[in-house]
């Protein structure tokens, strides 16, 4: 039977790396819900409008966000534009939590996410997957790591993409985003009691993938 696997956790916990590899091993589809909120933030910046809540909601209503397979890789599209790389800039990251706390934005994205998961065979990662998007998911995992390790991972990721950001700036950015995501009114980041807690501090990617595969049974 094709299962649904929900992976939640704070910024930099390694969700997307792990979810992608686990989906590959299981022959499932990987759904990166953060990328969808990032696409909305990208569009707001691209449109050059003032990032007020009203303008963000307006952009979200019009945007056509899609995750599409190009060859083996999942690419993120806003309309016809491939924004896979563009949604990872520091500017988008700085705006995304404001975008993600708005009810009308979440409603639209959650509906899309549920429709993508309706036939099972998906690994979905985000902040509210087990608690809200897929409360009946077969497997629920809460992935985390120490703040130091999460900041270091993000530093390496950004450096590989050509962004040299100071560690203290990245740490502050992650802490601010964790706070915004955990304290917002609508669908905050929470660990549901039935989710397996996986602290990945000090573990290799392979070790984490093995543990998650074990939980997927």
Which stretches of the chain bind ligand CDP, using CB under 6 A? 11-12, 16, 33-34, 37-38, 96-97, 100, 126-129, 177, 181
DSSP class of residue 122? Answer: E
CB 188 within 8 A of CB 97: no
Query: 1 or 144: whose CB is closer to ligand CDP?
Result: 144
- Report in angstroms how near the CB of residue 183 gets to ligand CDP at its nearest: 11
- Report in angstroms how near the CB of residue 41 gets to ligand CDP at its nearest: 8
Could you please report the per-residue DSSP string of 66-103? EEEEETTEEEEEETTEE-TTGGGSHHHHHHHHHHHT-H
- Report in angstroms how near the CB of residue 182 gets to ligand CDP at its nearest: 10
Of 51, 19, 55, the C-alpha closest to 35 is 19
- The structure tokens 């990617």 sit at 205
Query: 126 or 212: whose CB is closer to ligand CDP?
Result: 126
- Report in angstroms how near the CB of residue 92 gets to ligand CDP at its nearest: 9
Query: 28 or 38: whose CB is closer to ligand CDP?
Result: 38
């Amino acid at each position: 039977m094709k299962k649904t696997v929900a992976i939640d956790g704070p910024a930099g916990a390694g969700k997307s790396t792990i979810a992608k590899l686990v989906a590959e091993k299981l022959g499932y589809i990987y759904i990166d819900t953060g990328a969808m909120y990032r696409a909305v933030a990208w569009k707001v910046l691209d449109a050059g409008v003032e990032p007020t809540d009203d303008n963000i909601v307006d952009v979200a209503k019009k945007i056509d966000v899609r995750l599409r397979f190009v060859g083996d890789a999942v690419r993120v599209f806003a309309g016809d534009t491939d924004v896979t790389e563009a949604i990872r800039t520091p500017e988008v990251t700085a705006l995304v939590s404001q975008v993600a706390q708005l009810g009308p934005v979440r409603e639209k994205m959650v509906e899309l996410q549920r429709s993508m998961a309706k036939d099972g065979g998906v690994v979905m990662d985000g902040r509210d997957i087990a608690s809200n998007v897929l409360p009946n998911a077969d497997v629920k995992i809460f992935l985390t790591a120490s703040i130091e390790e999460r900041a270091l991972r993000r530093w390496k990721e950004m450096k590989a993409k050509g962004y040299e950001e100071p560690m203290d700036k990245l740490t502050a950015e992650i802490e601010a985003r964790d706070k915004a995501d955990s304290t917002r009114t609508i669908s905050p980041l929470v660990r549901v009691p039935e989710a397996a807690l996986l602290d990945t501090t000090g573990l290799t990617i392979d070790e984490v993938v093995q543990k998650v595969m074990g939980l997927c049974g």
